[in-house]
Structure 1
Amino acid sequence: MKDDLCRAFCDDVCVTATPLGLAVSTAFRRDDGDRVAFYVVEDGHDMVHLEDDGTTIPDLEEAGVDFETQTRRRALDVLLEGIDGYFDAEAVTIRTRSFVRDELASRALAFVGVLLRMNDFLLLTGESVRSTFREDAARKIKLAIGDKAQIREGEPVNEKLSEANADMVIEVCQRAPVAVFFGNSPQRVQDAIFLQMSALYEAKVDLSVIALLETETSIPPSLRRRASNRLATVTEFREDEDAAVSRIVREAIGHAA
């Protein structure tokens, strides 16, 4: 049985000498069918380091994974720290720091394990996606607004409307402020409705409240109907991000922005 396992894991490994060290093609395959490959690079003085083939991060980004968000970049850094590695943005490669040659076998196994785990970034659904929704939306809104308006985050609109903090308050001179709620849960949309009704009937201040939903199914249809009838607008982010952000910008700044 031990021999069978050794053959299964080892016989299909291909090692090729290169001017810089060794190119290693493993028996493991990525979701696209390509083999997981890496390089052993000589650093001199009996020291080596490992690096991928330069396709891991670009392929994930092409598939829609945005490593510019704080949550995803931190997750990547933590994953690579576990193998004393880092992402070299200039060379677009995942690398380890130098180590003594005697550690190569164990280091190589750990490195391949991390390369296999990189595909987990493609599974950004459910809780993982929800954790990045706010960052993705906030970043795009800020880029679109630029210096055309003042943006406050997580603060009351004003002293009269302090019971429900919006995720963003966008303010432009001589226009009503716009309060944006990132509606990745029914409670946040309820908060948006509460703030809009308070502005209209209690504080009696001019205010536009927007619920930016993550997806069409972020809230029940009945709540979506209530929000659409009471808020300035309800829009959806995923699958049409630029249009959703543009709708917010128009509400905050106007068509001439």
Structure 2
Amino acid sequence: MNLQKDICAAFCDGLVVREVPVGFSISTPVTWFSGDRISFYARIEGERARLEDSGSLLFGLEGQGVDFSSENRREILSGLLSDHGVDLSEEDGLFCTNWVPKVELATLALPFLTFLARVQDLLFLNREVVRSTFKEDLISALEDKFQEDRVSLSEALIPSLPHYTVDIVVRSASGKIAAVFPATNDVNVLRAVLFSMEVQKHEATDIVPFLIYENLDKGAITQQSREIAFNSDLTPAVWSGGREEVMQKVSRYVS
């Protein structure tokens, strides 16, 4: 048994290269998230060449819900691009390698294929990572809006209740305080509701509790928790409805 030979044969037998007008089309045995095989192109121009995808991958990922306007997701994508020597052409949505002499093109195939396989990981970020990304984006936006030194994290605002911590605290110039809870799961929603009840009970009129959803699609938060929150004294906002609008709403309520 020659394992190296067997592995090479298994991979190469699934590799299909055919000539097309731009150069060559390469179909691999590795599959996309859609179940189709990963394919890409070798574009040949005279003595130079590069590898590129069809232009559909970026739009496919966006269609599956990957938000590339998120600073964190852009950073993840930028890291993948850098690690594998790949560029993104913003103009036409193409992932491509640098131009190299035609004779060197084959050396780029494996890193490019690895990139195409790994970029799909953006679809499969686990819920904790997605929640963390939303929370980080929200913190960053609040720091930009109110100045970084006015924003703090995990702080107890009611002295007699040290265990009732608020995820994000914003102290405005007016003296009012925004107690911001990102609605990342049922537990956080119910924490926000309980905190808003304590604010009322302690007559803490300088504190305005907010519950900010990433979007209103059903997901980690149940309908029952949403209904409880909407019937509470929390001030709601929806990130996907406009980030600047969310910041303006917070600002209005604490001015």
**With structure 2 as the length reference, what TM-score do the two structures score?**
0.67
- Deviation at 1:196? 8.0
CA distance in 1, matches of 2:114, 2:76: 16
Q: Which residue of 2 aligns with 1:7?
A: 9
**Compared with structure 1, are the counterparts of its residues 194 and 230 closer, same or farther at alpha carbon in structure 2 (3 Å cutoff)?**
farther
**Compared with structure 1, are the counterparts of its residues 246 and 92 closer, same or farther at alpha carbon in structure 2 (3 Å cutoff)?**
closer
Q: Which residue of 2 aligns with 1:117?
A: 118
Q: Does 2:23 align with 1:21?
A: yes
How many residues are matched?
232
- Deviation at 1:58? 0.6
CA distance in 2, matches of 1:73, 1:229: 33
- Please say if residues 153 and 169 of structure 1, whose CA atoms lie closer than 8 Å, have aligned partners that are also in contact: no
Q: Which residue of 1 aligns with 2:221?
A: 216
- Deviation at 1:253? 5.7
CA distance in 2, matches of 1:229, 1:122: 30
Q: What secondary structure is seen at the aligned counterpart in 1 of 2:123?
A: helix
CA distance in 1, matches of 2:137, 2:42: 36
- Deviation at 1:208? 2.3
- Please say if residues 151 and 168 of structure 1, whose CA atoms lie closer than 8 Å, have aligned partners that are also in contact: no
- Deviation at 1:89? 1.5
Q: How does 1:177-188 map to 2 (within 5 A)?
A: 178-184=178-184
CA RMSD after TM alignment = 4.6
**Compared with structure 1, are the counterparts of its residues 190 and 230 closer, same or farther at alpha carbon in structure 2 (3 Å cutoff)?**
farther
- Deviation at 1:56? 0.9
CA distance in 1, matches of 2:236, 2:198: 19
Q: Which residue of 1 aligns with 2:34?
A: 32
Output one character per residue of 1:45-85: Cα deviation in whole Å (capped at 9) or x when no partner: x3321111111111110000001111111111110112221
Output one character per residue of 1:73-132: Cα deviation in whole Å (capped at 9) or x when no partner: 111111011222111111111011122334323310111111111221111223321222
Q: Does 2:75 align with 1:74?
A: yes
**With structure 1 as the length reference, what TM-score do the two structures score?**
0.67
CA distance in 1, matches of 2:113, 2:184: 35
Output one character per residue of 1:5-33: Cα deviation in whole Å (capped at 9) or x when no partner: 33211123222223332111112221212
- Please say if residues 42 and 51 of structure 2, whose CA atoms lie closer than 8 Å, have aligned partners that are also in contact: yes
Q: How does 1:1-257 map to 2 (within 5 A)?
A: 1=2, 2-44=4-46, 46-134=47-135, 151-152=145-146, 155=150, 167=168, 169=170, 178-184=178-184, 197=198, 201=202, 204-212=204-212, 215-216=220-221, 232-233=233-234, 242=241
- Please say if residues 192 and 234 of structure 2, whose CA atoms lie closer than 8 Å, have aligned partners that are also in contact: no
**Compared with structure 1, are the counterparts of its residues 249 and 82 closer, same or farther at alpha carbon in structure 2 (3 Å cutoff)?**
closer
**Compared with structure 1, are the counterparts of its residues 249 and 8 closer, same or farther at alpha carbon in structure 2 (3 Å cutoff)?**
same
- Please say if residues 70 and 135 of structure 1, whose CA atoms lie closer than 8 Å, have aligned partners that are also in contact: no
Output one character per residue of 1:142-190: Cα deviation in whole Å (capped at 9) or x when no partner: 9xxxxxxx94266269xxx79977747598x9xx875433254868986
Q: What secondary structure is seen at the aligned counterpart in 2 of 1:25?
A: strand
- Please say if residues 52 and 93 of structure 1, whose CA atoms lie closer than 8 Å, have aligned partners that are also in contact: yes
**Compared with structure 1, are the counterparts of its residues 58 and 187 closer, same or farther at alpha carbon in structure 2 (3 Å cutoff)?**
closer
Please list every run of 5 or more consecutive structure 2 residues that lacks an aligned counterpart in the other structure: 160-164, 215-219
- Please say if residues 208 and 232 of structure 1, whose CA atoms lie closer than 8 Å, have aligned partners that are also in contact: no
CA distance in 2, matches of 1:248, 1:101: 51
**Compared with structure 1, are the counterparts of its residues 62 and 187 closer, same or farther at alpha carbon in structure 2 (3 Å cutoff)?**
closer
1:9 partner letter:
F
Q: What secondary structure is seen at the aligned counterpart in 2 of 1:36?
A: strand
CA distance in 1, matches of 2:83, 2:100: 14
CA distance in 1, matches of 2:116, 2:93: 14
